[in-house]
Amino acid sequence: MSEILIPVTAVLLLLAGLAALVVLARRDGFAGPGTGYLPHDELGPLSFRRRPV
């Protein structure tokens, strides 16, 4: 019985680890800004300022 249970458990653990890795990679929080990145200036755009910084 254990000669079947151990490989099945190992395969299930590998599949669960792979699924967790896919979920982590799809979040993409570690890769930086994407192609739709818009730079944000906390002081506002230069056209709205009275004098350049």
pLDDT per position as a tens digit, 6-24 = 999 999 999 999 999 988 8
Whole-number CA gyration radius for the chain: 24
26: pLDDT confidence band, cut at 50, 70 and 90?
Answer: confident
pTM: predicted TM-score of the whole model, two decimal places: 0.51
Q: Pick the residue with more confidence: 28 or 3?
A: 3
**Residue 30: what pLDDT?**
63
Check residue 5 and give left, alpha or beta (phi > 0: left; psi -120 to 50: alpha).
Answer: alpha
